[in-house]
Amino acid sequence: MMAKSDQLRIDQQELVQAWSRTLPTVLNASDRAEVFADEADSNVLRVHITTAGRNDYSFDFKCTYVDSREVKVDLVDVERDGSNVDERTDVIQTLVDDYVRHIHECAQQLHALTTR
């Protein structure tokens, strides 16, 4: 098996700061996002998004850099008012799809930083 040469070469904290600045610019203005470093893996970021409005949903995503350009986004958890909810409903799936698209968009905007 060949080793990948296109690996992420950026300090994780620098990446967290860049994501923290960029992600809110691609989300709906009323949504809030927090980005955290994954303690176990330097190629992973944890993204927490809270929706605005009466629904009070919060979403947790695991964002793994496959290489310096591509991210794999996994939904970890969805909560409403602090309680777990069924992630399979159409409303939740639509929101998840939307947030995954925004997370990919954020990663694209940071290519100049992650591919240097």
pLDDT digits (tens, 9 = 90+) for 62-111: 999 999 889 999 999 999 988 999 999 998 999 999 999 999 999 999 99
Task: Give the largest Cα separation in the chain, rounded.
Answer: 50
Confidence of residue 5 (pLDDT cuts 50, 70, 90): low
What is the spatial distance between Cα 63 and Cα 83, in angstroms, rounded to a whole number? 23
What is the spatial distance between Cα 116 and Cα 66, in angstroms, rounded to a whole number? 16
What is the spatial distance between Cα 58 and Cα 83, in angstroms, rounded to a whole number? 10
List pLDDT tens digits, range 6-44. 778 888 999 999 999 999 999 988 999 999 999 999 999
What is the spatial distance between Cα 37 and Cα 48, in angstroms, rounded to a whole number? 11
Whether the per-residue pLDDT at 3 is higher than 50: the answer is: no
* Per-domain boundaries in the chain: 12-114
- pLDDT for 9 equals 82
Confidence of residue 53 (pLDDT cuts 50, 70, 90): confident
